[in-house]
Amino acid sequence: MTTYLDLHILQLVPPSCINRDDTGSPKSARFGGVERHRVSSQAWKRAARKGFADLLDAEQLGERTKYGALRVAEKLRGLRPELSEEEALEFAGEVLKAAGITMDRKHTDQTSYLVFLSRQEIERFAELAAGLADGNEKLSKKDARAALVGTTAVDIALFGRMLADAPELNVDAACQVEHALSVHKATTEFDYFTAVDDNAPEDNAGAGMIGTVEFVSSTLYRYATVDIDTLAANLGDRTAAAQAVEAFIQAFSLSMPTGKQNTFANRTRPDFILAEVRTDQPVSLVNAFEKPVANDGTALASAAVELARYAVDGDRDFGTKPATSLFLVNERASTPELLSALDGRSTAASFPDLISAVGAAVSEESGK
């Protein structure tokens, strides 16, 4: 029996451009025959990863970087301060190459691609590099790659890692994140702006700069699921997996991609959260919005009801039910229809209580 956490979020986002395409327009997708506002899963995973910094110790997190050699060299100089920066970088590069990681041909401090490394792995690489600096024999690939075994970085365990040069060291992602979609038809608008030159002559009435910025506002449905068993296997400990789940709920729920944030100050918090621990399979509820809800000032409340009813009806039809279900709802999204739909299925909770209750449920289900 596999245990999953499903996290469903409805969030009202004001005029913003938090995730852009290659033309600078807010990302979009067609769903249910109409154009929707879309925020890519990559954008929100990145935002959640940044949020981990305030919730977990640095030693519990990884770094996705091309500057792996530079990071190893920095740790190496802490172990062997007599080494110059150039010497430390040379030894660090040797260790990474011994592990089969391809280095950039032009930049000795960079790998040829992004590598997701935990802080512990960087430390272990630095220790191997210190051995080389001390005159030890040439490092074997087996010993170098051993430094990448047994990662305990929460973000690597959740979001996975692919090493093209060392596929046996790949980490299967325990978490999947759906592209956020607006629950209604969303139309992109344009902000025409001008900028005034503070030092322009008094007789110059023209603008120093003229331009446009595209933006959109929407009520988004956000969904993520975590395979608790894979997470525990990646971290090597079920207690650590429960703690990682609690951090993920907080980071994913409260994070926001930072595109054009200075322009729009669009930071909001979720209006409705449904967190469910399941032992059958992950279930996205996005199909509740195939028919777009009316965007007439009631989209949020209507979407919450549609989501709850779709969840209840789906479990009834397939003869399933969540092992644990909790929800948080603010005043704008709370209606008698919503509370009626969730009655007997889900328990209302504050955000801190929801997080701790899910963590406890994850520990209990994973231990069975």
Domain ranges of the chain: 4-58+178-202+209-366, 63-152
From the DSSP assignment, how many helices (H) and strands (E) are in the chain?
12, 12
**Three-class SS of 66-84:** CCHHHHHHHHHHHHCCCCC
How far apart are the C-alpha atoms of 114 and 231, rounded to whole Å? 22
Tokens of 33: 């025959």
Q: Which residues of the chain have pLDDT under 70?
A: 366-368
pLDDT for the residue 368? 63
Q: What is the DSSP letter of 101?
A: P
How far apart are the C-alpha atoms of 10 and 223, rounded to whole Å? 9
How far apart are the C-alpha atoms of 332 and 319, rounded to whole Å? 32
pLDDT for the residue 366? 62
Contact 275, 327 (CB under 8 A): yes
Q: Which residues contact 249 (CB under 8 A, 6 or more apart)?
A: 5, 7, 275, 354, 355, 358
Rounded to the nearest angstrom, the gap between the alpha carbon of residue 314 and the centroid of all alpha carbons in its chain is 27
Contact 118, 72 (CB under 8 A): no
Which pairing describes strands 62-65 and 175-177: parallel, antiparallel, or unpaired?
A: unpaired
CA distances from 11 to 126, 222, 260, 290, 325 (A): 44, 8, 18, 17, 19
How far apart are the C-alpha atoms of 55 and 349, rounded to whole Å? 21
How far apart are the C-alpha atoms of 139 and 128, rounded to whole Å? 8
| Residue whose token pair is 């935002």 | 47
Which pairing describes strands 272-278 and 209-227: parallel, antiparallel, or unpaired?
A: unpaired
Of the candidates 221, 297, 189, the residue with the CA atom closest to the CA atom of residue 7: 221
pLDDT for the residue 190? 94
